[in-house]
Structure 1
Amino acid sequence: MSNWISALADLQQQGQPCVLVTIIEERGSTPRNAGSKMVVTAERIFETIGGGHLEYKAMKIAREMLESRSQDTRLERFSLGASLGQCCGGATVLLFEPMGQPQAQIAVFGAGHVGRALVPLLASLPCKVRWIDSRESEFPEQLPAGVEKVINEEPVDEVENMPAGSYYIVMTHNHQLDLELTAEILKRNDFAYYGLIGSRTKRVKFEHRLRERGFQPEVVQRMRCPMGLPEVKGKLPIEIAVSIAGEVIATYNAAFGEQRAGQKSSSSESIAKLLPASRRSQA
């Protein structure tokens, strides 16, 4: 085990998500005092909140949060004697804070000129990027940190491997493949963002073909094509990439800004409920 501050810094540098567990309230006899912290990753822990069944339960909760990619803070109250079978007999409140979780899960289909300009931009953001193509030769030798290269002869199969709320960017070398990817993504209809590279003419053609396949207009309307910020002009790959990255940033800032505001409000209310009455008036 090492100092939790150092552990957080190292994990952040590695881009590895974790959960910071903090004792925020202690009543009676407890293994450690309020303010004690523990950092939990999928495979390791750093520091301790006292060991025993309490720590085991805390690790289990933290790893469930990591597995589900939860962005929500969480409060749990434990009676150490009754519920956990520990001899201390007191009670404690734990705060679970996800750290280092990417704000957006992004699938980029296509490793052509625009893809090679776009992916480094996305990699510099708080995102996790899966870069997908059937042609290994199209990928650069060096990938940006945090980018997963996926070579699949059937790129459409990768759509189902993304979690709900993902971002999809389609810019392959093949219009038919673009259409098949579009159909699969719209079929899921659980994405935060879907952008398809192309002109308005391409959009009209795709809308017609998607209607023939039975897709409802309100679902098709969620597709961004042409994608990118209209204010960013230019046809160079980097200009197109900057435009697309700007739209992705605007989308996740709006979505996660609302989520963070909700989390802050709900966390404050939950803390107030868990605190004893003598302290609740000060909260």
Structure 2
Amino acid sequence: MLDLAALTDAVAAHGAVVRVVVAGTAGSAPREAGAAMLVWTGGQQGTIGGGALEWQAVQAARAMLAGGPDTRVERMPLGPALAQCCGGAVVWVAERWDAARLAALRPEAGMIARPLGDAGEMPLAAARLLARARGQGLRPAAQIAGGWLVEPLAAPQRAVWIWGAGHVGRALAGVLAPLPGLALTWVDIAPERFPAPLPPGVACRAAPDPADLVAGAPQGAEHLIVTFSHALDLELCHRLLAHGFARCGLIGSGTKWARFRGRLAALGHAPGQIARIACPIGEPALGKHPQAIAIGVAAAMLRDGAAETGRQEAGRQEAGA
């Protein structure tokens, strides 16, 4: 998916960047269609995977930045061309972006379509993809249609709030920050509680009483409560149950959760609502090390996201049938 916010930020920071996107695969490939990276002089962000494949694409992107063409399309058979054992092939598109080119983009129905080189007027194949996006909400992965690149815009990000900047909070922020599609807000009692430097893209908020910030959280946010204080944990659970959330997880043992259930019931919350809070978070079988907890949480979030995407896609296909 085309992440316009990330592309805009990169152009603002570096003046010109090359975006490389996987526009098609055949057989076994390191990444799926739509995987992308941004390349600028002296750095890059994201990955299209594959080791040698990515190295070749980065070199091509840097050559474009040094004065090469503004658009390049390559089909790489991974075995014959790169001696990789995947056995498949990847088509990637590299485009040079600056502020003027960004300003000319015209999204439509959550999609972006643009000619590659001098491809001319929009072909029927690309127009049909846009029509399906308008009429049925179907947004296929990035692909080349009649010399045009058609791809969906990045979906709205999942808002994730991490409450607590101790060992587990730091592990969660470090593991979750690189994952696509997440907008992380990190909360604690004081600015000095957060590490420096911060993980990229994480918004930090400090308040003497963090529970006061619950009112400003989106009602569709997901929450991970890992503070240093059981009293604060309980207050956050109490306020979040009243405020609303998509998902909520609490660090703790079975004994802690049993006590919290009783206290939350005494505060007026119904058993069904209390049961929406997951405790403990993570995968107990992985252990209690902060990074092990974070990995378990991340795995659960990825599974939930994939399941939700599958349900939405099935619903769109059923509606368009």
CA distance in 2, matches of 1:263, 1:183: 36
Gap regions ≥5 residues in structure 1: 15-43, 50-54, 63-72, 77-96, 270-283
The Cα of 1:241 is off from its aligned counterpart by: 1.4
Alignment correspondent of 1:86: none
Alignment correspondent of 1:153: 208
Query: What secondary structure sits across from 1:131 in the alignment?
Result: strand
**Quick one: which of 175, 182, 200 aligns to 2:230?**
175
Identity of aligned residues (%): 36
Alignment correspondent of 2:315: 262
Q: Call closer, same or farther: CA 1:231–1:263 in 2, change over 3 Å.
A: farther
The Cα of 1:249 is off from its aligned counterpart by: 1.9
1:10 matches 2:7: yes
Q: Which amino acid aligns with 1:261?
A: A
Alignment correspondent of 1:99: 153
Alignment correspondent of 2:71: none
Q: Which amino acid aligns with 1:194?
A: C
Query: What secondary structure sits across from 1:195 in the alignment?
Result: strand
Gap regions ≥5 residues in structure 2: 12-100, 111-131, 136-150
Q: Call closer, same or farther: CA 1:159–1:259 in 2, change over 3 Å.
A: farther
Query: Mapping of 1:167-206 within 5 angstroms?
Result: 167-189=222-244, 191-206=245-260
Tell me, yes or no, if the aligned pair for 1:102 and 1:128 is still in contact at 8 Å: no
**Quick one: which of 257, 261, 281 aligns to 1:207?**
261
1:113 matches 2:172: no
Q: Which amino acid aligns with 1:10?
A: L
1:250 matches 2:247: no
The Cα of 1:125 is off from its aligned counterpart by: 1.2
The Cα of 1:170 is off from its aligned counterpart by: 0.3
Count of residues in Structure 1 that have an aligned counterpart in Structure 2: 195
Q: Given the two structures, how large is their TM-score scaled by the length of structure 1? A: 0.60
Bigger mean CA deviation after superposition, 201-210 or 145-154: 145-154
Alignment correspondent of 1:31: none
Query: What secondary structure sits across from 2:203 in the alignment?
Result: strand
Per-residue Cα deviation, 1:59-104 (whole angstroms, up to 9, x for no partner): xx98xxxxxxxxxx9638xxxxxxxxxxxxxxxxxxxx86224542
Bigger mean CA deviation after superposition, 142-151 or 106-115: 142-151
Query: What secondary structure sits across from 1:100 in the alignment?
Result: coil
Q: Which amino acid aligns with 1:201?
A: T
The Cα of 1:240 is off from its aligned counterpart by: 1.5
The Cα of 1:261 is off from its aligned counterpart by: 3.1
Q: Call closer, same or farther: CA 1:9–1:154 in 2, change over 3 Å.
A: closer
CA distance in 2, matches of 1:179, 1:243: 23
Tell me, yes or no, if the aligned pair for 1:103 and 1:252 is still in contact at 8 Å: no
Per-residue Cα deviation, 1:229-268 (whole angstroms, up to 9, x for no partner): 2342x222111211222222222222233123324554x4
CA distance in 1, matches of 2:311, 2:237: 28
Tell me, yes or no, if the aligned pair for 2:8 and 2:102 is still in contact at 8 Å: no
Per-residue Cα deviation, 1:129-173 (whole angstroms, up to 9, x for no partner): 000001222211111121101111221122222223211000101
Tell me, yes or no, if the aligned pair for 2:183 and 2:201 is still in contact at 8 Å: yes
CA distance in 2, matches of 1:205, 1:119: 28
The Cα of 1:220 is off from its aligned counterpart by: 0.5
Tell me, yes or no, if the aligned pair for 1:166 and 1:193 is still in contact at 8 Å: yes
Q: Call closer, same or farther: CA 1:8–1:155 in 2, change over 3 Å.
A: closer
Structure 1 stretches of at least 4 aligned residues deviating more than 6 Å after TM superposition? 5-9
**Coordinate RMSD, CA, aligned:** 3.2
Query: What secondary structure sits across from 2:103 in the alignment?
Result: strand
Query: What secondary structure sits across from 2:223 in the alignment?
Result: strand
1:46 matches 2:100: no
